[in-house]
Chain A
Amino acid sequence: DQQVKQNSPSLSVQEGRISILNCDYTNSMFDYFLWYKKYPAEGPTFLISISSIKDKNEDGRFTVFLNKSAKHLSLHIVPSQPGDSAVYFCAARETSYDKVIFGPGTSLSVIP
């Protein structure tokens, strides 16, 4: 039973435009949400996170929005750059176990 879902396996965006990656979750016990980026042959790299008590967190070109009532979060990348092309994983942390559960990922392609 998948607790973290990313329903779009892939996304293509023109350079300079906004990329929006979506994520849904089912477990109300998650207290922290994270986004990771992964290039081939490398481990995932932490990108940005948000606490469950907030609804927005911004870091440069990256903004994460959290809608707790809908159990939905999204990652906005503005403006998108070709170097952003990677697989993006949404992840959620369950405090009681301090473990992070990952979604299946969305492959983002930013077209020059």
Chain B
Amino acid sequence: DAGVTQSPTHLIKTRGQQVTLRCSPISGHKSVSWYQQVLGQGPQFIFQYYEKEERGRGNFPDRFSARQFPNYSSELNVNALLLGDSALYLCASTLGGPIGGYTFGSGTRLTVV
């Protein structure tokens, strides 16, 4: 079974540009979460989607947005990129419910120059 897949794996963008990151969850998983991990820190929660609805949002500016599609895949969009947006962006999927264990993808490394 395929795990959580994210694309692209690496990306370099210029300040002010816009970026779209993509995530395909494990088959059967209806919940997708996005995290930002800056070097030396733990993953920071950005969004969670379940059944195409936003279930949670972290402390990120409105430049960050996301959506989930009918096939449960998801996109994270970041507008007006800043240097500080450079990070590893992780997508995680879960069945939801009391199990609690997310399965993470390998992430997209975004570098803003």
Contacts and interface: CB of A to CB of B under 8 A. Distances in A.
Asked if A and B bind, the verdict is: yes
A49 B101 CA distance: 8
Interface in A43-90: 43-46, 49, 51, 89
SS class of chain A's interface: helix, strand, loop or mixed? strand
B107 A49 contact: no
Given A89-B42, A104-B41, A98 B101 contact: no
Interface in B32-55: 33, 35, 40-45, 48, 50, 55
B56 interface: yes
Which of B50, B100, B101 is the most central at the interface, judged by chain A CB atoms within 10 Å of its CB? B100
A98 B31 CA distance: 10
A59 to B, nearest CB: 12
B42 A102 contact: yes
A108 to B, nearest CB: 15
Given A32-B98, A43-B90, A93-B100, A99 B45 contact: yes
